[in-house]
Structure 1
């Protein structure tokens, strides 16, 4: 478009838009943010606002849409939540001082990964992830711009990268290298992430340090570059980057965390029905965030786990003090995010009052902990820094009745600044001076209805009706003439007005200056505030653990250096809370040192999956430092948990297919160690009977002979129970049933030995199948059982050799092998997996 044919203002817009082609540009014009051209057309549809046009009579009118300045945040939130970037162009000079077009500049770019202010505040982290690559290694760094958390690690394959991104629930990825076509498809289309490219590194020695590998330094530096490029300000609240290793925590891929309902219910996507829901007795937003982090990243360091347990035990043993502590924590605001608002220059008087209230609560919290007289709490007590000088500064400076605005005055306490107090005396006394002057002039002039009024145009004036004009004193001078009256001024009234207006203007300016000085002073304490926030969050989560332990009757687990598991009357705490303790049936679980696999048989719907999940849930809770639902629990410390539990196998809902089942089994078998936990539920049921049983047997034998991981393997292939005769580390257990007069009751109790039958027809009956259909099924079953036909038998080692090779390294052609290796099948829907494999098959046939 030829810019010479459009106005200077639109030329300015196009010049700015050229630098932000991938963002909606909100262009400040008076009290509105305006959008033009394609931005206006698209925004009008997304935001459901009116689409108009500029220069309507022109040959090619410019599409235009706008949102009010004062309510823009809700529209920005909608665009960002929809996965778009928003560039905010503000007027950066006073219109009355501008020569020509008012100068405008982009002051911030808001993206899905950098949201700090929101009209819908959320206590969850919002992580922005950066990804870079060097040879076969990936650098991954992430940051929460709102809290300052900053982490970096190195990963060895793309599937691990995708798993970590999913675990972080990231919405935007900063890329430091050119993606392959497959990688871009996975990140942009399958994972629905906004991709942003960055080539340069922001070399910040304060934040990056010297303990990183070159790849990690580069990745974290590119993340910093992107954050500074979009936020356009110094961010003093950002913490020094911390290197972490995935193997330092209990490893669980996204599918495992989802199947265990750790942070949300997999079926509903809601908090209710998750471990997070069960454990969340936190009182602060900071505690809530930390709890989610601990759930996502259970520990593998016994010393750290034991320390958390020790603190929980102290809180559990001191009910009244814990209650007082919980009450005190209710007065703690989200000072972690308040610190970021200081850094962003967006702190309001209300923010500072909340900060002061929190700091004022810290001595009480500290006193409660000190009163428990436990050396276990010494470090937490030491780190509870009340920063009394900061609390005193804010409390003495900021008025409790301060408004949100920092430019309209009435935010600084009387008595804090001498000059400000003088201005306030003038403002206060000026009102009485005017009242006295009005009364005196009325008496001396004899004008009984004489009064002093005020408006912005004429200021203060004497209002005199036409009938009284003859009585106007000589020292009055005319200011304005109206139809039925005149407005007059006097030198004394002008002097009082001058003093009051000067005091009002200078008072507001002075208050603003004082507030900015206080905000700058608060900025010096950001590091201490962040450490305090972390300590308060830790105290909050651990007192919450104690509260849950008391309410749910949890016990402290013990850890053993051996691989044995012993759980007496274990429960699935989430299911129990949903069902009610009176109806939930606990189960004990014992796997001796020499037992690695439990083969679980029994009817569907009888509780096999719950029994399996129960063990994983107890392990996760234990390694978080929480107490666990059992009468007694002795556990090894697991390094990883792998699951394949198909609770709702349905292609349409994207939960499972046989392909995904086999790939998830493959992932577990390849990555599990003798210190891992594997949960496999009904593997092999998605194919023909002989195929399925052969695969199930091959998998069991592979785990038994090569992996050595503790494994719960639920199956409907009863023939597999014979494996216990020759696999010394496998034992059979089953879900007990009670059968009487043709009626079957599932007892939901695990007992030793194999099940005698599957009770499939009884399950169908419970599901409400027609009686006629059930009778026919029972008749067919009887016929089949009475037939003299060979039943499926176990295969010997030679016969299953080909099945075992399923889990050996495959070597297809190089190009197809690379594409297959890059498929992130754990973060794809089953339908996506089938389509991807179908494409690779076609390529293989054509090659």
Structure 2
């Protein structure tokens, strides 16, 4: 240290406390970085690397960014998972003796970003903390600093359950104690790909004692305190918007591990890792950012308490039945800004005038929302009305205080309304009307003294003055004028009134801007007092938004309100996969029934690839998820149990990070289901055992089915290409065979995507290969090999082999239902158009006769809906 200049020594002292962050060191109008920070930042930000004399033998690397454009560069680093410590000058350079004092005023990390492009309006930005306890349990707390919500739980089920929960919340940063084992640190890092941060202290601090006070359990307090210590230490400012910690337990919601959620594509798709194509994409008809975030939370955590689910359903039903009121509600919600994040910005101190205008406009919608909901006249919605708090006092304050279109900056004036503050009005009056006031003073003084040559002037040295020639001095009132300057032929004076006005005029602009800033800070502090009320209001508005979203989707997609039973029955009529139906269109999608009860616990599903086995399985699970978040479901009738857990094993994927093969992943997922499933659970197993040899796989598949049947009793959908397993229907009382039907048309295999009773004894993989347009020579050779293998395995006559080959294509008399199905999946779409039956033609003729434009919107909607029902029939 002795070899460096005082400024570089200061830099190194500060940097020693922030080794894991880029240190943005304020020097004048720039943030500078030195040594390794400079080298790495120049690469990451693509800025010029220079050097400077630091007092040592060699020049030290250096790079910097202008302070006014620093937010863009900080955002780039945060997006890449880095941290940035902001070190500001905390002393006036003119008054400094030696090196200007500098301190870190904030540490910005991926989990503590408060604004910028890095924040997604429709997603929470969580920072979590993990605490390990001696009894193999873990404390997990997480907070969204932008909204102030904080939740905590104790994970009793071990490390894997902790990893699942971390993956569910999608934390951007995880805070841990340095003593946490390397194994756990490694698992967190590899599984969640987050920024790891360290915090030593885990005892409640005085700054946040009130936040953890309601927590009775020591583990919950310890887990929360670790997170709060980190937040208060790094943010170095008021965090008044942080809400009292909310506790929850994992068993309070439907459990789904990370793989199950991924396989069902609840919030993102497997291929693109994006929202489009997921259940969240289908459902998101929310009008506010708050509602969109809550919708994702509800999808991640379906309910298991029937009365709470039905409470949501009732509000959805009311909104569904009142179309026009719901449309008005949606229009009003569109005008509500993000109350949660606005509250966070107020508490954090980075709110501006435009933010507060957004807050005012949002609050102005609350009385209208209240009136709309009141008009529904339903007990379920009356409770919402009572809880809607318009915060009239705050609305009045913002209306009186702020102009309608304030600038972005809060330090340049033009924020405050005229008439809000008397002193500010005087400054503005002096600034705008200074010259006219001086002119009036001159006229008044001439009249008072009778001196027609008297004038009021100004110069930079003496300011404003009254000038009187020597010949007229005797006309001045004694004691009223104070001599300021003597000239050859005149004297210059000042009066108390002019002296007072001079100060106002000369400093009006500067004082006006300074006073506006002070007034704005005062307004912000008063808004802080409303933060708890605003946060409660935000929760209610977001809940209302999600419920209207459910009603909107349910109407648009023709969903049905599900009912729940305690007999563990699944009754789904005309069930559909919600996302596939939206992508394909309702007219193209083939609905299927599902009936399971105490005598039908396990469905063994056979049929060709691409025929719809996985889709059928997923649609049952997604229907259960939709039902248990309070939404209507894609079916004409739905009667369901409340599932405590859903397990899925669908698709094949290696886990390259931890070095596990496809088959190992498959077995681990199967183990998770078998160990944790209960009689109230739903299990989806797709092609278990195919990752190993035929006999190994078949043996494992059969053993798993038997174990579930005998020891668990969970509702299970098990698809397989091991047709030999279909004999289990005769051996196990609660196993039932179902298959996806297919037909042959013009020598081609056509999948009808219809689930039927009984087993299919062939998979017809070669037909699927032919549909994929593999070379014809290859297809022909595959058929030859298949015949050869079948002869070797079952020595029988050629006629028997042929009969076995064709057994999958049903030889019974073709039914009307099959013909109708076939019309959807014929080889030529033109054939489908030509096969319109008489009813369809009649409906189209009726449609041509109608003059829709002459009808009222309601009559038109009802007419078209009636025609649509006929077409469906």
Shorter-chain TM-score: what band? 0.7 to 0.9
The residue number in structure 2 matching 1:138 is 138
- Residues 1:583 and 2:588 aligned together: yes
> What corresponds to 1:632 in structure 2?
637
- Equivalence for 1:213: 217
SS of 1:96's partner is coil
Shift in CA distance, 652/162, structure 1 to aligned 2, threshold 3 Å? closer
Q: More displaced, 26-35 or 690-699?
A: 26-35
Alignment correspondent of 2:15: 17
Q: In the alignment, does 2:453 pair up with 1:429?
A: no
2:680 is the alignment partner of 1:661: no
SS at match of 1:258: helix
Please report how far the alpha carbon of residue 98 of structure 1 lies from its aligned counterpart in structure 2 after TM superposition.
Answer: 2.5
Is this contact kept in 2: 1:651–1:657, CA < 8 A? Answer: no
State the match for 1:824 in structure 2.
none
Provide the C-alpha distance between the structure 1 equivalents of 2:649 and 2:462, rounded to a whole number of angstroms.
Answer: 80
Q: 1:82 to 1:747 in 2, by over 3 A?
A: same
Specify the alignment match of 2:821 in structure 1. none
Residues 684 and 459 of structure 1: CA distance in aligned 2, closer, same or farther (over 3 Å): farther
1:34 matched to 2:35? The reply is no
- What residue number does 2:200 align with? 199
The separation in 2 between residues aligned to 1:650 and 1:13, in whole angstroms, is: 44
Q: What does residue 299 of structure 1 align with?
A: 303
* More off after superposition, 115-124 vs 636-645: 115-124
The answer to whether the Cα contact below 8 Å between 1:146 and 1:340 also exists between their aligned partners in 2 is yes
Which structure would you say has the larger Rg? 2
1:72-115 alpha-carbon deviations (Å, 9 max, x no partner) = 11211111221221111111222233232222111111111111
Say if 2:119 and 2:125, in contact at 8 Å, map to a contact too. no
Matched, 1:383 2:403: no
Q: CA deviation at 1:278?
A: 0.6
The correspondence of residues 795-810 of structure 1 with structure 2, limited to 5 A, is: none
Secondary structure at 1:97 match in 2: coil
Kindly tell me: are residues 240 and 653 of structure 1, through their superposed partners in 2, closer, same or farther at Cα, counting changes over 3 Å?
Answer: closer
Instruction: Structure 2: give runs of 5+ residues left out of the alignment.
Output: 444-456, 466-482, 486-491, 797-873
CA spacing shift, 1:37–1:544, aligned 2, 3 Å? same
Q: Go from structure 1 to structure 2 and tell me whether the alpha carbon gap of 1:119 and 1:94 turns closer, same or farther (over 3 Å shift).
A: farther
Report the counterpart of residue 446 of structure 1 in structure 2: none
1:721-762 CA-to-partner distances (Å, cap 9, x unmatched) read 000001001100000000244311000110000013111110
- Which deviations, in whole Å up to 9, do the C-alpha atoms of 1:330-355 show, x marking residues without a partner? 11011111111111111211111111
Q: Write the deviation string for residues 25-49 of structure 1: whole angstroms up to 9, x where unpaired.
A: 1111122111111111111111111
Offset at 1:499? 3.5
Deviation at 1:789, TM superposition (A): 3.3
Is residue 652–residue 662 contact of structure 2 (8 Å, CA) maintained in 1? no
Q: Which residue of 2 aligns with 1:283?
A: 287
Please give the alpha-carbon distance, in whole angstroms, between the structure 2 residues aligned to 1:93 and 1:365: 50
**Which whole-Å CA distance do the structure 2 matches of 1:159 and 1:435 have between them?**
82
- Structure-1 residue corresponding to 2:49: 51
Question: Is 1:322 matched up with 2:320?
Answer: no
Contact (CA 8 Å) 1:133, 1:215: kept in 2 or not? no
Q: Deviations over 1:538-586 (max 9, x none)?
A: 0000001100011111110110011110000000111111111121111
Alignment-derived partner of residue 373 in structure 2 = 369
Asked if 1:168 corresponds to 2:172, the answer is no
Residue matched to 2:803: none
- Aligned match for 2:572, one of 562, 567, 572: 567
Could you tell me how far 1:434 is from its partner in structure 2?
Answer: 7.7
Matched, 1:618 2:623: yes
Give distance in 2, aligned partners of 1:187 and 1:788.
50
For CA contacts below 8 A with separation 6 or more, give which structure has more relative contact order: 1
Query: Structure 1, residues 119-177: CA drift from partner, whole Å, max 9, x if none?
Result: 44312111111111221211111111111111111112111111111111112211136
SS of 2:678's partner is coil
The one of 614, 617, 634 equivalent to 1:609 is: 614
Contact 2:353 2:415 in 1 (8 A): yes
TM-score (norm 1): 0.85
CA contact under 8 A between 2:78 and 2:109: conserved in structure 1? yes
Cα distance change on mapping 1:780 and 1:650 into 2, 3 Å: farther
- Determine if contact 1:678/1:711 at 8 Å carries over to the other structure: yes
1:490 CA displacement:
12
1:86 corresponds to 2:84: yes
- Matched residue of 2:716: which SS? strand
Query: Cα offset for 1:688?
Result: 0.9
Counterparts in 2 of 1:267-666, with a 5 A limit?
267-432=271-436, 498-646=503-651, 657-666=662-671
Q: Does structure 1 conserve the Cα–Cα contact (< 8 Å) formed by 2:303 and 2:309?
A: yes
**Contact 1:646 1:655 (8 Å CA) reproduced:** no
CA distance in structure 1 between the partners assigned to 2:371 and 2:59 by the alignment: 69
Aligned 8 A contact 2:320 2:551 in 1 = yes
SS at match of 1:291: helix
Secondary structure at 1:310 match in 2: helix
Q: Distance in 1 between matches of 2:155 and 2:28?
A: 49
Residue of structure 2 aligned with 1:73, choices 51, 71, 74: 71
CA distance in 1, matches of 2:376, 2:754: 42
**1:95 alignment partner, SS class:** coil
Question: CA shift at 1:227, angstroms?
Answer: 0.7
1:248 aligns to 2:252 (yes or no): yes
Measure, in 2, the Cα distance between the counterparts of 1:779 and 1:438.
Answer: 115
How much has 1:187 moved relative to structure 2? 1.9
Q: Does 1:785 align with 2:790?
A: yes
Map of 1:704 onto structure 2: 709
2:30–2:66: 8 Å Cα contact kept in structure 1?
A: yes
> Against the structure 1 CA distance between its residues 453 and 399, is the aligned structure 2 distance closer, same or farther, given a 3 Å change threshold?
farther
| In structure 2, distance between residues paired with 1:69 and 1:459 | 37
Instruction: Give the equivalent residue in structure 1 for 2:840.
Output: none
* Distance (Å, rounded) in 2 between the aligned partners of 1:601 and 1:313: 38
1:139/1:155 contact within 8 Å kept = yes
- Give the C-alpha shift of residue 525 in structure 1: 0.8
C-alpha separation between the residues in 2 aligned to 1:148 and 1:40? 34
Tell me the distance in 2 between the aligned counterparts of 1:725 and 1:52: 80
Deviation at 1:535, TM superposition (A): 0.2
| Whole-angstrom CA distance in 1 between matches of 2:628 and 2:676 | 20
Once residues 12 and 601 of structure 1 are traced to their aligned partners in structure 2, the CA distance between those partners, rounded to angstroms, is 72
Which residue of structure 2 aligns with residue 675 of structure 1?
680
1:433 is displaced (CA, Å) by 5.6
Q: Give the drift of 1:188.
A: 2.5
Pairwise CA distance, 1:403: 1.1
Q: Structure 1 residues 341 and 789 mapped into 2: Cα distance closer, same or farther (>3 Å)? A: same
Q: Could you tell me whether the CA contact under 8 Å between 1:25 and 1:87 is conserved in 2?
A: yes
Q: 1:202 to 1:788 in 2, by over 3 A?
A: closer
Aligned-residue CA RMSD (Å): 2.8
Q: How many residues align?
A: 754
Is the partner of 2:87 in helix, strand or coil? strand
Note the C-alpha offset of 1:431: 4.8
The equivalent of 2:150 in structure 1 is 150
Unaligned runs of 5+ residues in structure 1 are 440-451, 462-474, 478-488, 792-847
Q: Distance in 1 between matches of 2:406 and 2:463?
A: 27
What is the Cα deviation at residue 790 of structure 1? 7.7
How many angstroms apart in 2 are the aligned matches of 1:546 and 1:212? 39
Distance 1:298 1:83 in 2: 31
By how many angstroms is 1:491 displaced?
8.6
User: Structure 2 vs 1, CA of residues 52 and 459 (structure 1 numbering), >3 Å: closer, same or farther?
Assistant: farther
- Alpha-carbon contact 1:260-1:613 (below 8 Å) kept: yes
Q: Distance in 2 between matches of 1:285 and 1:538?
A: 12
Pick which of 577-586 and 198-207 moved more: 198-207
> Is residue 150–residue 246 contact of structure 2 (8 Å, CA) maintained in 1?
yes
